[in-house]
Amino acid sequence: MECIDIAKVISFSREKPRKVGLFRTERCQVDLYYLQPGQSQAPHVHEGIDKVYYIVEGKGSFTIGGEERALGKGEVALAPAKAEHGLENRGPGSLVMLVFVAPPLSEPRR
Amino acid sequence: MECIDIAKVISFSREKPRKVGLFRTERCQVDLYYLQPGQSQAPHVHEGIDKVYYIVEGKGSFTIGGEERALGKGEVALAPAKAEHGLENRGPGSLVMLVFVAPPLSEPRR
């Protein structure tokens, strides 16, 4: 059985946001994102891919489809295909997110 | 922006497991599952659908592809297409899960 305890794969980096791949199938991809205060993911668009963020720890400032919103632990947000999306951890704490993507990104796991 | 605070949609039922739809797109579906002690989801198979469980609260006994395992808060598991999967809350507490499915199920939201 493929299962992972996310508490065991915490992986922050001082230099840049970290992304840890959990699962990848033909149909979807699941990653953990780790952002320290001041780290961000620049706004970008996926043409045919939906992305769902679930905030496990901390809080972040999300911009999706031109709307900005602060989301915290226990909140879940959809960045649908074609909607520009980005986020920033403005602190003070670390930000941990579970990110579901369908279909999987073409890029390799980092 | 489509975003939901899952603490605000808690929805247990004494009679049967509850499923609350959060997002549904062409490519994926995200639901919350709520199981009280003694409640279960019978083993079943999706031919062309992958399912990912994330345990938000509590613990459950999961059977995926013939393997049984107890998973708790913070663990994430993949039930890939064609793998029989089911789960049971053997207690003592409530079980809350975020469930990501790609592509979406054909059934309507319940």
pLDDT tens digits, one per residue of B20-58:
999 999 999 999 999 999 999 999 999 999 999 999 999
Residues of A in contact with B62 (CB under 8 A): 1, 3
pLDDT tens over chain A, length 110 residues: 999 999 999 888 989 999 999 999 999 999 999 999 999 999 999 999 999 999 999 999 999 999 999 999 999 999 999 999 999 999 999 999 999 999 999 765 44
Domains in chain A, ordered, with CATH?
20-102 (2.60.120.10)
Any residues with CB less than 8 A from the CB of B62 and at least 6 apart, and which?
A1, A3, B53, B68, B69, B70, B71, B77, B85, B86, B87
DSSP B28: -
Percent of residues, chain A, with pLDDT higher than 70: 96
CA atoms within 13 A on the CB side of B52: 27
Contact B52 A100 (CB under 8 A): yes
Q: In what order do the strands lie in the sheet with B18-24?
A: A2-5, B75-79, B50-57, B95-102, B29-35, B18-24
Q: Is B47 on the interface with A (CB under 8 A)?
A: no
Smallest Cβ distance to A28: which of B4, B64, B102? B102
Residue B53, by phi and psi: left (phi above 0), alpha (psi -120 to 50) or beta?
A: beta
Give the confidence band of B106 by pLDDT, cuts at 50, 70, 90: confident
- Cα(A7)–Cα(B66) distance, integer angstroms: 26
Residue type, B35: L
Residue-level pLDDT at A93: 95
